[in-house]
Amino acid sequence: MSKDKNLIDDLDIQHYEAEELGDDHTPTSLETPLRDDAFDLSEDQKIEIIQGHFKKIMETLGLDLTDESLSGTPYRVAKMYVKEIFKGLNPDNKPAARKFGNKYHYHDMVLEKNINVTSFCEHHFLPFVGKAHVAYISSGKVIGLSKINRIVDYYSRRPQVQERLTLQIADELETALDTRDIAVFIECQHLCVSTRGIKDRVSSTVTTDYRGKFKRQKTQQRFIDYILASTEMK
């Protein structure tokens, strides 16, 4: 009896710690936690396995999978996980950031603002959505503007923590551009905050990473001013 009670107590502690970690949205590492065998299975194999597991989840919830509306849901969810919302886990999907010489000798700030961010909290697998603003100062190399958007999307399309996402984007851009002069500003609303727990539908989370010249107050303020400046496209 004592052994059974100790087992229950241990489970209660584990559940409490899991809830506490999830509610605090605490990151545990800079790298996305992946097992060594993460890519041993093909995408089709992963879809088949996830489909089976998600079917069990739905059945456990009491849903009738013979209903026409629900019968295809396990497959749809599995395909969505592997091919869409978590496709950034697969390094084969990493965008190639080809460098070009800065032949026009532009050495001021380049800012790509209002980049859509759609990611998923790794603690509850619920979305967080918002905008990223990314800037750099060329050290002699540039990349295509669309590559910045693709880098943001690639690192967003995985179970994430916003702090880690911010740093991963900055690391990738620093490598791609051969410069420390990088700024990343992300603001998102988290559905795990708005739909569960505290259920706050108004608050948003801001994370930043300033490197190189962007650590200087004047350059950093100019970056923020550019973000806040309204642009009317006609």
Indicate if 119 and 66 belong to the same structural domain: no
Set 51, 160, 162, 168: catalytic member: 162
Over residues 116-127, the pLDDT tens digits come to 999 999 999 999
Q: How many C-beta atoms lie closer than 10 Å to residue 40's C-beta? A: 9
Query: CATH number for the domain including 204?
Result: 3.30.1130.10
Annotation says 190 is catalytic: yes
Indicate if 201 and 108 belong to the same structural domain: yes
- Give long-range contacts, CB 8 A cutoff, 24+ apart: 172-175: 172/97, 173/134, 173/136, 173/148, 174/211
Contact (Cβ atoms closer than 8 angstroms) between residue 183 and residue 135: yes
With respect to residue 32, please indicate whether it lies within any of the assigned structural domains.
no
Q: What is the pLDDT of residue 181?
A: 97
Set 25, 133, 172, 192: catalytic member: 192
Domain limits for position 68: 38-85
Contact (Cβ atoms closer than 8 angstroms) between residue 128 and residue 190: yes
With respect to residue 60, please indicate whether it lies within any of the assigned structural domains.
yes
Annotation says 122 is catalytic: yes
> C-alpha dihedral over 133, 138, 143, 145, to 10 degrees?
30
Annotation says 124 is catalytic: yes
Annotation says 160 is catalytic: no
Annotation says 107 is catalytic: no
Over residues 65-79, the pLDDT tens digits come to 999 999 999 999 999
- CA 53, distance to chain mean position in Å, is 24
Annotation says 168 is catalytic: no
Average pLDDT, the chain: 88
Residue 234 has pLDDT above 50, yes or no: no
Q: What's the pTM value of the predicted model, to 2 decimals?
A: 0.85
Distance CA 206, CA 219 (A): 19
